[in-house]
């Protein structure tokens, strides 16, 4: 499409109407007449050849086409506003600013050395970091790029897999001092279990899959504490009062230092992974494209992951022999200690 034909005033009117779902409220936010907003939206609809709103009594409802373009229009205006603000603030020499959203555990455990290395290699890019629990697939608001903990899914956004999560029981070494580790099921039954809330799943979803794959679906796992982040669950486990089911890639330092132990070489493929998420239209942003390619390269063939998964497992007093069962999507790989 030739940009000289883009109806910018009509796009501004559409964005305001889409956010407020009211021509009157949109007109107030733009300090123009209600009839002007309505007319501009009609111009845009004629230009596109599709309706963007359903006009209902006392209510506007976005059509499928309207829902599709509204976030793109809003983000484009946000980016223009941000760029103009940077030019004004920096007196004509704007810095490239990249706003990155990270899951809490990832931010605390891996982000610091990663971001330090990126800044050393790309000093011209300013990073703004937002840390929050996230299992959603999309970036939103003024976020340029996000790392999310998610299942594989099809969406409008681009999802680059960094790694698939493989969880294992983790606990304090103090919990193992007098424990009987010859039977993993008995160990699980004897201790509090620490859970992490996942959107759309029961609080004990992963522990249920884990014991089912051990061939012990009869084990009760609906007990213990529930946390909103993996970081908090593992911190509690380090105190010696429970067993977390977590990805050791995020806690390699604690495992190597002996503050955290992996009592069994048992693994649960959760079906979730960490994905780098961007909107297709943002790949034209040089800073976004550079950070995306750099991070993918950083995790490609992850030597760091290999080092973590080679972390020592606390040796059990006797070989562990468990027959996994094919029940559900989760799978456990059992390796008997020799």
SS (HEC) of the chain: CCHHHCCHHHHHHHHHHHHHCCHHHHHHHHCCCHHHHHHHHHHHHHHHCCCCEEEECCEEEECHHHHHHHHHHHHHHHHHHHHHHHHHHCCCCCCEEEEEEECHHHHHHHHHHHHHHHHHHCCCEEEEEEECCCCCCCCCCCCCEEEEEECCCCCCCEEEEEEEEEEEEEECHHHHCCCCCCCHHHHHHHCCEEEECCCCCCCCHHHHHHHHHCCCCCCCCCCCEEECCHHHHHHHHHCCCCEEEECHHHHHHHHHHCCCECCCCEEEEEEEEEEEEECHHHHHCHHHHHHHHHHHHHHCCCHHHHHHHCCCCCCCCCCCCCCCCCCCCCCEEECCCC
How many C-beta atoms surround the C-beta of residue 299 within 10 A?
Answer: 18
User: Does residue 60 sit in the same domain as residue 194?
Assistant: no
pLDDT of residue 20: 94
Residue at which a domain ends, from 68, 98, 118? 68
pLDDT of residue 329: 42
User: Does residue 55 sit in the same domain as residue 170?
Assistant: no
238 - beta bridge partners?
Answer: none
262 - beta bridge partners?
Answer: none
User: Does residue 190 sit in the same domain as residue 329?
Assistant: yes
User: Does residue 178 sit in the same domain as residue 326?
Assistant: yes
Q: How many domains does the chain have?
A: 2
| CA pseudo-torsion sign 2, 7, 8, 12 | negative
Residue at which a domain ends, from 44, 68, 92? 68
327 domain-assigned = yes
User: Does residue 33 sit in the same domain as residue 177?
Assistant: no
- Total residues belonging to the chain: 338
User: Does residue 194 sit in the same domain as residue 330?
Assistant: yes
Mean pLDDT by 10 residues, the chain (338 residues): 76 94 93 94 93 91 94 87 74 71 85 86 88 57 85 84 93 91 92 92 93 93 92 94 93 93 93 90 84 88 45 47 44 37
295 domain-assigned = no
User: Does residue 39 sit in the same domain as residue 174?
Assistant: no
Give the CATH number of the domain where residue 257 resides.
3.40.190.10
pLDDT of residue 23: 93
User: Does residue 204 sit in the same domain as residue 329?
Assistant: yes
Residue at which a domain ends, from 25, 49, 68? 68
197 domain-assigned = yes
User: Does residue 46 sit in the same domain as residue 187?
Assistant: no
294 domain-assigned = no
Task: Say how far apart CA 192 and CA 211 lie, in whole Å.
Answer: 14
User: Does residue 177 sit in the same domain as residue 324?
Assistant: yes
Which domain, by its residues, includes 241?
A: 164-273+304-334
82 domain-assigned = no
CA distances to 43, 109, 151, 165, 322 from 249, in Å: 54, 9, 18, 9, 24
Task: Say how far apart CA 155 and CA 138 lie, in whole Å.
Answer: 8
150 - beta bridge partners?
Answer: 273
pLDDT of residue 140: 57
User: Does residue 53 sit in the same domain as residue 173?
Assistant: no
Helices 64-89 and 8-20, axial angle in degrees (round to 10): 110
Task: Say how far apart CA 144 and CA 256 lie, in whole Å.
Answer: 35
Give the CATH number of the domain where residue 50 resides.
1.10.10.10
- Which of 84, 51, 68 is closest to 281 using CA atoms? 68
| CA pseudo-torsion sign 186, 190, 196, 201 | positive
pLDDT of residue 243: 96
Q: What are phi and psi of 334, to 5 degrees?
A: -105, 130
């Amino acid at each position: 499409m030739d940009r000289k034909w883009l109806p910018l005033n009509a796009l501004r009117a559409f964005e305001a109407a889409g956010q407020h779902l009211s021509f009157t409220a949109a007109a107030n936010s733009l300090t123009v007449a209600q009839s002007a907003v309505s007319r501009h939206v009609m111009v845009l609809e004629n230009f596109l050849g599709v309706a963007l709103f359903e006009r209902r009594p006392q209510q506007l409802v976005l059509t499928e086409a309207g829902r599709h373009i509204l976030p793109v229009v809003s983000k484009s205006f946000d980016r223009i506003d941000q760029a103009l603000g940077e030019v004004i603030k920096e007196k004509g020499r704007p810095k490239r600013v990249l706003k990155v959203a990270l899951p809490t555990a990832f931010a605390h455990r891996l982000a610091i050395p990663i971001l330090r290395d990126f800044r050393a290699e790309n000093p011209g890019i300013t990073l703004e970091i937002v840390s929050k629990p996230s299992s959603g697939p999309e970036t939103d608001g003024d976020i340029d790029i996000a790392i999310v903990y998610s299942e594989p899914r099809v969406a409008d956004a681009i999802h680059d897999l960094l790694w698939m999560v493989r969880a294992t029981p983790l606990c304090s070494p103090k919990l193992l001092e007098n424990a009987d580790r010859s039977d993993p099921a008995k160990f699980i039954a004897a201790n509090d279990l620490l859970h992490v809330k996942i959107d759309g799943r029961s609080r004990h979803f992963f522990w249920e899959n884990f014991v089912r794959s051990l061939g012990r679906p009869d084990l009760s796992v609906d007990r213990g504490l529930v946390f909103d982040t993996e970081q908090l669950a593992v911190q509690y486990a380090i105190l010696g009062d429970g067993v977390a089911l977590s990805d050791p890639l995020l806690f390699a330092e604690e495992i190597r230092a002996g503050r955290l132990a992996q009592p069994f070489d048992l693994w649960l493929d959760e079906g979730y992974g960490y994905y780098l998420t961007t909107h297709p239209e943002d790949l034209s942003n040089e800073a976004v494209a550079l950070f995306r390619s750099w991070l993918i390269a950083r995790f490609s063939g992850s030597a760091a992951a290999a080092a973590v998964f080679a972390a020592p497992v606390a040796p059990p007093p006797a070989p562990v022999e468990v027959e996994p069962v094919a029940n559900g999507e989760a799978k456990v790989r059992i390796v008997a200690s020799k």
